[in-house]
Structure 1
Amino acid sequence: MNKKNSGDKHSNSQGEHKARKRFGQNFLIDHGIIRDIVRAVHPHKDDLIVEIGPGKGAITQLLADSCDNLSVIELDRDLVPWLKVKFEKHPNFQLYQADALQFDFAQLIKNDQPLRIVGNLPYNISTPLIFHLLSYSTQVRDMHFMLQKEVVKRMAAHAGDSAYGRLGIMVQYYCEVENLFEVPPTSFDPAPKVDSAIVRLVPYKDLPHKATNIKTLENLVNVAFQQRRKTLRNALKQLLAPDVIEQLPIDTSARAEEISLADYVATSNLLDSLASSQTQASS
């Protein structure tokens, strides 16, 4: 887990590994929380499990003991040799020294079996990493992440909530979101300055609200929330002509956070339909 985890204080060949701010490292040391996380994941022997940022291997150890196929992605080169020694007895343990933001998770698929992804994600890259992982949603069974509590709130928020925004809309487009439990700063070494929480994301097999063009939806949501204090009629002026805004199937006098995911998708699909009609008319 890239905001790292460890149930014990281990030493490598260069001495005790110190948490590094540039990697967003906070090592998880609370054995009760570690067990709760693995219990929430509930790994089975034949699962394809991927852990992002194994750190010193506390959660990794329990995952390796529970499943026969575990891949871990670790950015910190200094931890790689130590992890290799610790887990070399597990025959199906694969370690990749890589940046998860650039990693191709599709290469870990075996026999079309979906991945189960676990990660204690560093706060500084959590949002872009979530978006990167969502691009593999059709190849993923579920994801369990430790994140900043406020980020989890944003992911689980619904229309009308103060935390509702681009992150929640796009995550909920692809996944069912469940806020599982909170983790206090005292569970880490060093202790972060914010509370954390565990979230479960389960990608939909069939999207409940399907956009005809995901890029149109992403662009619409981005523009709507760039000026979230304005009404949608004003916020969308930079994207759409006034006559188009009047055709939208939403209340344009409302603000961005008052519009549901279903309505954003319906609006996005209408925009695609109008664009297609204009293209046909001009050809």
Structure 2
Amino acid sequence: MKFFLKKGYGQHLLKDKYIINKIISIINPKHHNIMVEIGSGLGALTIPMIKYNNCISIIEIDKNFVHYLMYNKQIIESKIKIYLDDALKFNYNLLIKKHKKKLRIFGSLPYNIATTLIFHLFNNYIDNIKDMNFIMQKEVVNTLTANTGEKNYGCLSIMAQFYCRIKSLIEIHPKSFYPIPKVFSNMVYIKPYKKNPYKLNNIYLLKKIVQKAFSMRRKILRNSLKDIFSVDELNLFGIDYKIRAENVSISEYCQLAQYLELNNYSL
């Protein structure tokens, strides 16, 4: 197995069969679903999933893993399609147009690309994704799912929850992987809103406001946002200028972004 691993790809392979079966049970793949796996490795999730769904497309960057899978008997006998490609560069529209259905995306994501990848999917394919089930670093999942006022609540929480409903599902011990990582992992469920509750067109403005607020996390809003909003403008939306960035809800940040949008303000 060591032959296959490339440190630069941040590869940690699931090996715990109990956890693997639990993950597949949670994903609950149906035969009519269009499943897309990112980073299949040696097929720890792929192969047991075949008995539930053989319409699986694999996106794998490591040609050694692709070669291994192409000669696996269970893969050969299924209808699984393997793409040797970078998940950050792959054109998911190929699958969307081919199947004319929303995609269900899953996988154990390398820690070094996890957040970059999910925001790539949010920004480019959100309307054509049914749901996502990812295994990610526990600390990242804690941030993605954090609520207003919690210590992990920040830019990542707000921007992710703007797009989707996000839920942490199960914790996965480092010993469930090979090689053993130094951190715990969590499985996270990400479901795009059917109708986004935050009525905002200019997401760029939201991102800039949030970044500005959290760049001076320990300062009150009057100070951290003084270059954008006056105290009177914050009061207009019922936002106390004496609170800090982590105490402002996503809805309130969106209201501030809407205000700038209506007033043709650029950042």
TM-score, normalised to structure 2's length? 0.92
In 2, Cα distance between equivalents of 1:46 and 1:233: 53
CA shift at 1:164, angstroms?
0.4
CA shift at 1:154, angstroms?
0.5
In 1, Cα distance between equivalents of 2:89 and 2:174: 29
CA shift at 1:264, angstroms?
0.8
Give the alignment of 1:163-242 within 5 angstroms: 163-238=152-227, 240=228, 242=230
In 1, Cα distance between equivalents of 2:121 and 2:38: 11
Whether 1:258 and 2:258 are equivalent positions in the alignment is no
In 2, Cα distance between equivalents of 1:116 and 1:243: 45
Match of 2:71 among 82, 85, 96: 85
Partner of 1:12: none
Between the two proteins, the alignment pairs up a number of residues equal to 261
- Deviating above 3 A after TM superposition, structure 1's stretches of 4 or more consecutive aligned residues are 241-248
Whether 1:99 and 2:86 are equivalent positions in the alignment is yes
Distance change (3 Å), C-alpha of 1:117 and 1:243 = same
Match of 2:11 among 25, 41, 45: 25
What's the secondary structure of 1:181's corresponding residue?
strand
CA shift at 1:248, angstroms?
5.5
Q: Is the 8 A contact 2:39 2:59 kept in 1?
A: yes
Match of 2:25 among 20, 39, 43: 39
Match of 2:263 among 274, 277, 281: 274
Q: Tell me the amino acid that sits aligned with residue 58 of structure 2.
A: V
Distance change (3 Å), C-alpha of 1:97 and 1:244 = farther
What's the secondary structure of 2:263's corresponding residue?
helix
Distance change (3 Å), C-alpha of 1:98 and 1:111 = closer
Unmatched segments (≥5 aa) in structure 1: 1-8, 10-15, 279-283
**Range with bigger deviation, 248-257 or 58-67:** 248-257
In 1, Cα distance between equivalents of 2:144 and 2:63: 31
Q: Is the 8 A contact 1:245 1:252 kept in 2?
A: no
In 2, Cα distance between equivalents of 1:24 and 1:111: 31
Give the alignment of 1:131-142 within 5 angstroms: 131-135=119-123, 136-142=125-131
Q: Is the 8 A contact 1:47 1:68 kept in 2?
A: no
CA shift at 1:245, angstroms?
5.0
In 1, Cα distance between equivalents of 2:161 and 2:26: 20
Q: Tell me the amino acid that sits aligned with residue 189 of structure 1.
A: Y
Q: Is the 8 A contact 1:53 1:74 kept in 2?
A: yes
**Range with bigger deviation, 219-228 or 255-264:** 219-228
In 1, Cα distance between equivalents of 2:220 and 2:76: 58
Unmatched segments (≥5 aa) in structure 2: none
**Range with bigger deviation, 126-135 or 152-161:** 126-135
Q: Tell me the amino acid that sits aligned with residue 78 of structure 2.
A: H
Q: Is the 8 A contact 2:34 2:99 kept in 1?
A: no
**Range with bigger deviation, 149-158 or 241-250:** 241-250
Whether 1:56 and 2:42 are equivalent positions in the alignment is yes
Q: Tell me the amino acid that sits aligned with residue 103 of structure 1.
A: F
Q: Tell me the amino acid that sits aligned with residue 94 of structure 2.
A: Q
